[in-house]
Amino acid sequence: MSDQVGYSQATNPLAWVNGSDAPEKSSLDLGFMALSDCASLVVAATQGFAQPYGLTLNLKRQSSWAGLRDKLVSGELDAAHSLYGLIYAVHLGIGGVAATDMAVLMGLNQNGQGINLSQGLQQQGVTSPEALERKVHQSRTKLTFAQTFPTGTHAMWLYYWLASQGIHPLRDVESVVVPPPQMVAHLQAGRIDGLCVGEPWCASAVQQNQGFTLATSQAIWPDHPEKVLGCTQAFVEQYPNTARVLVMAVLEASRFIDDSLENRRSTAQLLSARDYLDAPLDCIEPRLLGIYDDGLGNHWQDVHALRFHGGGEVNLPYLSDGMWFMTQFRRWGLLREDPDYHAVAHQVQQLDLYRQAASAVGVATKAEEMRSSQLIDGKVWDGSDPAGYARSFRLHALADDVVRHALR
């Protein structure tokens, strides 16, 4: 990769630097976690995609999602690689800090997370969803599963998948929060029996003979929403031009990564560096290329692997994507009442700003604000009846006693 890559793709950048649309703030501190899906921020910051727009992007690796949240809310970070569910939880006042108006500038990726089980369970023959369901319901001691943030995407994928297999995630198993880079060490120490996390940590566990991948997140929901470029509403209001050109730069970087296999390989190499993922290339590259080895002898090329652009499909902040996470907060008792799903999503998803940025860099945008998907349990989510959808599940935590347990 060279700095020239970004310059060659920039769309009349000097107009943005010199005109009335010049960024109000030229140096931005961007938070990220050591995960493969931070790639578009790393590429934007280091490969010349931001400079043409008068931006300098300073990457700040964080050690936990809670730490990233605190710095984002306080303004120490201008914007960040964020969990969809973290941004919405903070906005709704259930994210572990006082309610703060938040914004989703764009989607950063789809797919590419996983659920792994430990080597101990593998040795006991618990290598299928059916075997796990039997183990959970026959065992006297509860299995412990790790996810990365109480309202984060990994918690929601884990809960959704367990429930789809007849396992109640709040009653039948224990759930703990572990920062992504610490997951493998927790498996190794026998503190957890399973986990849900982003790459490269699922692949790393397999490589180190610490169990196997039982399910991918894309098997739960093909092309599901995942990480977003998040910030406070105050940042967007104070620096609207900056927010717009930041999206433009990250969009161009996203397009570059997805443009060719060669670009993905060079991105994997870049991510492996100490400043970013600090992980072996052979843990990062295969799944970034959609090549899976689950640790049980199964190998496949995943048609819904981690993607960063998809012609803009990945990046459009659909209202229905944000609303889905709120339905799951309601389902699992994290929200005691139904929010105004549409109104909240309209506040958080910066659709107008995104469309302006996309148009400026030649990325097609759809007029639709909703999309329709079928999930692993056969249910269709299209955003049309969020309150009804939240109540439609056989396994849930809508009852008051379980609500109190979930919020403790």
Specify whether 46 is located in the same domain as 61: yes
User: Once rounded to an integer, what is the mean pLDDT over residues 83-106?
Assistant: 98
Q: Quick: pLDDT tens for 234-250.
A: 999 999 999 999 999 99
- Phi-psi category of 12—alpha, beta or left, where left has phi over 0 and alpha has psi -120 to 50? left
For residue 200, whether the previous peptide bond is cis, meaning omega lies within 30 degrees of 0, is: yes
pLDDT exceeds cutoff 60 at 15 = no
Specify whether 207 is located in the same domain as 268: no
- How high does pLDDT run on average in the chain? 94
Specify whether 228 is located in the same domain as 339: yes
pLDDT exceeds cutoff 80 at 328 = yes
Specify whether 74 is located in the same domain as 147: no
Rounded to the nearest angstrom, the gap between the alpha carbon of residue 50 and the centroid of all alpha carbons in its chain is 22
- Counted domains in the chain: 2
Q: Is 250 within the bounds of a domain?
A: yes
pLDDT of residue 55: 97
Strand partners, 121: none
Q: Is 298 within the bounds of a domain?
A: no
Specify whether 328 is located in the same domain as 238: yes
pLDDT exceeds cutoff 80 at 17 = no
Q: Is 365 within the bounds of a domain?
A: yes
Q: Is 39 within the bounds of a domain?
A: yes
Specify whether 14 is located in the same domain as 43: yes
pLDDT exceeds cutoff 60 at 9 = no
pLDDT exceeds cutoff 50 at 404 = no
Q: Which long-range contacts (CB under 8 A, 24 or more apart) does 170-174 make?
A: 170/332, 170/333, 170/397, 170/402, 170/405, 170/406, 171/402, 172/136, 172/137, 172/142, 173/136, 173/142, 173/143, 173/144, 173/145, 174/142, 174/143, 174/144, 174/145
pLDDT of residue 178: 98
Specify whether 164 is located in the same domain as 121: yes
Question: pLDDT category, 18, cuts 50, 70, 90?
Answer: low
pLDDT exceeds cutoff 90 at 313 = yes
Q: Is 216 within the bounds of a domain?
A: yes
Q: Quick: pLDDT tens for 59-91.
A: 999 999 999 999 999 999 999 999 999 999 999
Q: Is 297 within the bounds of a domain?
A: no
User: Once rounded to an integer, what is the mean pLDDT over residues 279-284?
Assistant: 98
User: Once rounded to an integer, what is the mean pLDDT over residues 1-12?
Assistant: 41
pTM given for the model: 0.94
Q: Which domain holds residue 401?
A: 113-223+388-407
Q: Is 380 within the bounds of a domain?
A: no
Specify whether 185 is located in the same domain as 266: no
CATH code assigned at 148: 3.40.190.10
Specify whether 218 is located in the same domain as 178: yes
Q: Please give the residue that has the higher pLDDT: either 404 or 79.
A: 79
Specify whether 233 is located in the same domain as 363: yes
Specify whether 164 is located in the same domain as 69: no
Q: Is 176 within the bounds of a domain?
A: yes
pLDDT of residue 21: 82
